[in-house]
Chain A
Amino acid sequence: MSDPGNLDEEVKQMTRDYLDHRTRRVALFYLGPRPVVRCRQGHLFTTMWVWGGSLKAIRLGPLRFQRCPVGKHWTLVRRARYSEVTEDEVRRLAGQHHDVPIP
C-alpha cells in the first residue's frame, strides 16, 4: 500500500476480493410464497400470515395459536427462521402440509 496513486484502486480490488469471498457458497432454498411456520411440537407447515388480522388463529404478538395440520392439534406456532429449516425439511414440505388458504 505504499504508492498513493494506486491506493484507491488497490483498496477497491481488495474489497472486491473480500466481497467475492463473503458472498459465495451460500445456497438459498426458496421456501415458497407462503411463510413457513413451526408449531411447538416441531411440525413444519406453510400458512397464510397476513399482518393485522386473521380468521382462523388467535394472535399473540409474534406467535399465533392455531391448528397444526401436521399433528392435527391446536398449538402455538411461530415463523420458522430460514436458518432453522433444513433442506430435508423443505423437500418433505413440498406439496404437503399447507394450511387452508385463509389468513
Chain B
Amino acid sequence: MGLNISPVAVQGSEEAAFESAVVAPHAERLLRLALAVVDDPGEAQDAVQETLLVAWRHWPSWARLTNPSAWLTRVCVHQCVHRRRLLERWVFWSPDQWAAAKAQVSELDGRLFDVHRAYLHLSPSQRAVLYLHLQEGLTVESCAGQLGIRPGTARSHLGRALSKLRRELIDV
C-alpha cells in the first residue's frame, strides 16, 4: 500500500511543518487502523482525512500533547465509530459499492472468509484493540493507553473478540 501525498497541502511553512510532523509519520498507520475498524474503504479514507483536519485545528497546541500518536489513534477510532454508526443507519450503497465489496470478499480464500464472517460481528472497539495488539504488536496496556480506555476494558475487548473468532472457526 502506498501513501500518496498530494501537493495540494503545501501552501505555507505551517502547513509544510504540519505535513512533516503529523501527516508523513502517522497517516499511513491511521489509514490501516481505519481500514481495520470500518468495512468500507472510502469511509476509512474519510475517517483519516477527518482525523487530520481535527489535528490541523489543534496544530497551534500540538507541541503540548504528551503523546501525539495516542491522541491521533483516539481521534481516528472515534471518527471510525461515528462513521460506522452513520453507515448502520443509512445503508444505501450504490451498485458499484456493492460490487466492490463483493469483489473484496471473493478474493479471500476459504479460511480467511471464515475470519471475515466472524470479524463483521466485532464492535469497532474490539476491532481497534485487536488490530493494535495483533498488527502493531502493542501490549494490552499500550492498546488501552492509545485508545484512552482502562487496561481491563482493553483486555475484555480483546478477549471477547478472540473468543468470537475462535467460536466461528471451530464451528466450521
Let me know if A18 and B166 touch, CB within 8 A. Answer: no
| 8 Å CB interface, B1-56 against A | 1-9, 11, 15, 18-19, 23, 27-28, 31-32, 35-36, 40-46, 48-49, 52-53, 56
Provide the bound-state CA to CA distance between A30 and B11, in Å.
14
- Is A100's CB within 8 Å of the partner chain B? no
Which residue of chain A lies nearest to B104 when distances are taken between CB atoms in the complex? Answer: A22
In the complex, chain B residues whose CB is within 8 Å of the CB of A35 = 53
Which residue of chain B lies nearest to A91 when distances are taken between CB atoms in the complex? Answer: B6
- Is B162's CB within 8 Å of the partner chain A? yes
Chain B 107-130 per-residue mask, 1 if CB under 8 angstroms from chain A, else 0: 110011001100100000000001
Provide the bound-state CA to CA distance between A27 and B46, in Å.
12
- Is A90's CB within 8 Å of the partner chain B? yes
Let me know if B7 and A33 touch, CB within 8 A. Answer: no
Size of B's binding interface in residues, CB under 8 A: 50
Provide the bound-state CA to CA distance between A34 and B46, in Å.
13
**Interface size class for chain A?**
35 or more
- Is B81's CB within 8 Å of the partner chain A? no
Chain B interface secondary structure, helix, strand, loop or mixed?
helix
Q: A-B pairs with CB below 8 Å: how many?
A: 132
Which residue of chain A lies nearest to B114 when distances are taken between CB atoms in the complex? Answer: A14
> Which of the residues B36, B53, B169 comes within 8 Å of A1, measured between beta carbons?
B169
- Is A72's CB within 8 Å of the partner chain B? no
CB of A70, distance to nearest CB on chain B (Å) = 14
Let me know if A28 and B162 touch, CB within 8 A. Answer: no
Let me know if B116 and A24 touch, CB within 8 A. Answer: no
Let me know if B134 and A19 touch, CB within 8 A. Answer: yes
Chain A 75-86 per-residue mask, 1 if CB under 8 angstroms from chain B, else 0: 000000111100
In the complex, chain A residues whose CB is within 8 Å of the CB of B135 = 16, 19-20, 23
In the complex, chain A residues whose CB is within 8 Å of the CB of B5 = 29-30
Interface residues of B, Cβ cutoff 8 Å to A: 1-9, 11, 15, 18-19, 23, 27-28, 31-32, 35-36, 40-46, 48-49, 52-53, 56, 59, 107-108, 111-112, 115-116, 119, 130-131, 134-135, 162, 165-166, 169-170, 172
